[in-house]
Structure 1
Amino acid sequence: MFTHVTLGANDVEASHKFYDAVLGALGHQPGAYNDQPRPGVWYMTPRGMLGVVTPRDGEPACHANGGTIGFAAASPEAVVAFAEAGVAAGGTAIEDPAGPRDTPFGKMHLAYLRDPSGNKICAVHRPG
């Protein structure tokens, strides 16, 4: 459905460290820094891209109230690794601890974090 998602960052270096850690815990390659057309880090997969960039308008980055970006996790252990890596890399754990939840969509394993710029992200494992 999506080709890419971009998040604003006030400190690209801190965000690069954070996203390398959390996405690495999910099995993704480190991000590639690019300063054109604006400074940022890009994470590419065969199905899409995530950009963590400075805002084009030069104003400070801010997070979306009510917005969350979810990343697929291969196992419950990957969800926990995501959460631990994120906190170790400067993120903040939010909501309940990483682990199983009963949701309207069935049982899932979830972990929610705020990145260094306040963006809300999560890791999701849906048992088969």
Structure 2
Amino acid sequence: METNELYRGRLIDHIQLVVQDVEASRRFYEAALGALGIPIGGVGDDYFWADELFVSSASSPAALGRLTGRVHLAFQAQDHAAVEAFYDAGLANGGSDNGAPGERPYHPGYFAAFVIDPDGNNIEAVYHGEAKKSADSIRITF
């Protein structure tokens, strides 16, 4: 299934993770990102993607035969419940605990959870608290 929409207007255009086991990573990210309302956009033999995240095997043309190193990647969550759902889904689908949902000292209202993905990446979901946004993001439809 390919999606025909992208969301742009944030700092990062896209990130690529090159992983050992694409299927194990797909299961992890499909569950963890699904808990945040982010669907998998496309799947191929040696890759998948979701929004700005592209995950591939080392054999994919863009990977140049190398795995990426340990990465810290944080996804925005809509509320505390989404952070908790992300954490539970990540643990249930091949991830390991790196920080249970809770307040962090980074700024008032920073509520986050951390899960290590199947390749050792530190994946975070964060809710920054009540705030007024001019827009959630920019939607591009093809």
Superposition TM-score, scaled by structure 2 size: 0.75
> Counterpart in 2 of 1:106?
108
The question of 1:127 aligning with 2:133 is answered no
Q: Counterpart of 2:105 in structure 1: which amino acid?
A: D
CA contact (8 A) 1:7 1:119 kept: no
Counterpart Cα distance in 2 of 1:54 and 1:93 = 24
Counterpart Cα distance in 1 of 2:38 and 2:22 = 19
Q: Higher strand fraction: Structure 1 or Structure 2?
A: 1
CA contact (8 A) 2:40 2:48 kept: no
2:49 to 28, 42, 52: 42
> Counterpart in 1 of 2:80?
76
Larger-Rg structure: 2
Moved over 4 A (4+): none
Structure 2: runs of 5+ lacking an equivalent: 1-10, 131-142
Aligned pair count? 116
Q: Residues 95-126 of structure 1: CA distance to partner in whole angstroms, max 9, x if unpaired?
A: x32112232x3231110111111111100001
> Relative to 1, partners in 2 of residues 1:85 and 1:101: Cα closer, same or farther, differing over 3 Å?
same
Counterpart Cα distance in 2 of 1:115 and 1:31 = 19
> Relative to 1, partners in 2 of residues 1:31 and 1:89: Cα closer, same or farther, differing over 3 Å?
farther
CA contact (8 A) 2:35 2:89 kept: yes
What root-mean-square deviation, in Å, do the aligned CA atoms of Structure 1 and Structure 2 show?
A: 1.5
Counterpart Cα distance in 1 of 2:65 and 2:102 = 38
CA contact (8 A) 2:20 2:57 kept: yes
Superposition TM-score, scaled by structure 1 size: 0.83
Shift of 1:28: 1.2
The question of 1:63 aligning with 2:69 is answered yes
% identical equivalent positions: 36
